[in-house]
Amino acid sequence: MNREVALSRLKSEDFDLLVIGGGITGVGVAIDAQTRGLKVALVEKNDFASGTSSRSTKLIHGGLRYLKQFEFKLVNEVGRERAIVHKLAPHLVHPDKMLLPLIKDGNYGYLLTSMGLSVYDILAGVEGNDKRKMLDKNEASSMEPLLRTEDLEGAGFYAEYRTDDARLVMTLAKTAWREGAVLCNHIEAKEFHYNDNQKVCGVQLRDVKSGEEISLSAKQIVNATGPWVDLLRDKDHSKKGKQLFLSKGVHLVVRHERLPVKQTVYFDNTDGRMIFAIPRGRITYIGTTDTPYEGGKEEPGTTKADVDYILEAVNQMFPSVKLQAEDVESSWSGLRPLIHEEGKSVSEMSRKDEIFDSPSGLISIAGGKLTGYRKMAERVVDRVVQQGAFKTKASSTATQELEDAAFASYAEVQALVDRLFTEYPKLLPDFKSAEYLVHNYGSASESILQAAQKIELPAELALAAAEVDHCLQNEMTLDLLDFFERRTGRLYFDILSIPRIRQVVSMVFAKFYGWTAAEIETQEARLDEAIDRVKAW
């Protein structure tokens, strides 16, 4: 994806559809519409996935908790979508078994959990070995020796998937681009343009990097701005009826040695909320909170109360670990754009997506989940096609091959990790580094290793230089933080690697963009701020 090409097309062409917002919802809509034959542009005011779509629990899951709210249709849809997304991007969406410990007098008893997980499997179409198993107390504590035992009654063991939300957005963005859509980051939609019939027919855009204004015409416009949806509805004078309600969710990161869970554990806290502890490479991350939020949307931040809440829950479930605030090496917080429901608590509000139609023709989409992005996009584009009276093909995204995902099966992903680990011992000193590369870049991994082999630097730095070059050439990576936070996830999952490689990464950026010394300083300062932010509360 090339930003200069994108800018020049945004300035000179008209489009069938403009999508505002480069999170999972927006890029999902862009692919669906472009592959049906519409001419699509997408603008994102910050970096792709910089909103909620890089701040989730990073699971592609059927939403077991929604069973409690009797949302059978939702569980059925997202449950089946899990399998489709796994098939489309097997390097990014990994099968992950979950352990659900059952505690005496907890939220659910043995029988209810057993029945609930069976219904969950049926609704989601789970088959074979992946079907739920019920474990007795001894089996549960040998599966996870860290669990408290005094009131442990057993556990449920069932299948979900783990992903990297920001990488999934990037893969979808690149696929939409490959199919002919124009996508551009750091472009803000400022105002709507209307025709004589008061129908929305374009948008005033601002290039956040240069300050330049662009007037863009589009026959249809979709507002996919997540937590910002109501701001744009307001600009369109259509914020009437249902409105958004924002709920903040925080995750904390500790070294895996400090919370060495053997697999993901999903447990109930004393207040009835559910908490995940998810092992991932050299760390384990834990969360999440679910609290009403009304502050600034860009960086909701982590507070001491958030940290205390999560650590207390973890220490109760795994009493021997005794986690302290000092163990937390990184954190992130995101905003769930929920649809407000009178009289319901945050946890009870539905996570279903909803489309808002404005009299001007603006189509806004909010709510939903990462997991259900494809179906959500299909519904939005159906609406666009109907409203715009376009003649198009049917949606084909269920079988559309994604960029960097040329794998026929998950076994092929694992085989690639094994082969690269064997063939590139200097660049990939341990198995986890091979996994990291393949899980991030899929079928593009080997070209990064080949480029690294030609760079005369110590192995770790050569690989970092090749990796950043790949992101600069292919992934519209503008700032150091885009690379460290969203292209690689290092800010969260490997923050200790940043001091080791940042000088080389910064040099590659500076050379690629011709940065001055002052620009390098500004970029470095923003990275430092982010490193401080993820540990400040």
CA 369, 370, 375 angle in degrees (round to 5)? 75
Give the residue with the Cβ less far from ligand FAD, 76 or 114: 76
Least Å from the CB of residue 23 to ligand FAD: 2
Give the residue with the Cβ less far from ligand FAD, 216 or 452: 216
CA 81, 16, 10, 227: dihedral to nearest 10 degrees? -40
Give the residue with the Cβ less far from ligand FAD, 93 or 464: 93
Least Å from the CB of residue 34 to ligand FAD: 17
Q: What count of other Cβ atoms lies within 10 Å of the Cβ of residue 12?
A: 8
**Residue 357 to residue 222: CA distance in whole angstroms:** 10
Provide the 8-state DSSP code for 400: P
Give every CB contact of residue 359 below 8 A, 6+ residues apart in sequence.
198, 238
Catalog residues that contact ligand FAD under the rule CB under 6 A. 20-26, 43-46, 50-53, 55-59, 61, 188-189, 224-228, 249, 288, 334-336, 368-371
**Residue 414 to residue 391: CA distance in whole angstroms:** 42
Least Å from the CB of residue 393 to ligand FAD: 24
Give every CB contact of residue 281 below 8 A, 6+ residues apart in sequence.
256, 432, 435, 436, 493, 494
CA 200, 367, 179, 186: dihedral to nearest 10 degrees? 70
Least Å from the CB of residue 422 to ligand FAD: 33
Give the residue with the Cβ less far from ligand FAD, 93 or 463: 93
What backbone phi and psi angles, to 5 degrees, belong to 358?
A: -100, 150
**Residue 436 to residue 442: CA distance in whole angstroms:** 10
Least Å from the CB of residue 287 to ligand FAD: 7
Give the residue with the Cβ less far from ligand FAD, 77 or 121: 77
- Burial (CB count <10 Å: 0-12, 13-18, 19+), residue 84: middle
Q: What count of other Cβ atoms lies within 10 Å of the Cβ of residue 136?
A: 13
**Residue 226 to residue 229: CA distance in whole angstroms:** 5
Least Å from the CB of residue 282 to ligand FAD: 21
Give the residue with the Cβ less far from ligand FAD, 336 or 502: 336
Least Å from the CB of residue 165 to ligand FAD: 6
Least Å from the CB of residue 187 to ligand FAD: 7
Least Å from the CB of residue 248 to ligand FAD: 7
Give the residue with the Cβ less far from ligand FAD, 51 or 361: 51
**Residue 104 to residue 120: CA distance in whole angstroms:** 22
Sign of CA dihedral 135, 138, 142, 145: positive
Give the residue with the Cβ less far from ligand FAD, 1 or 448: 1
Give the residue with the Cβ less far from ligand FAD, 348 or 423: 348
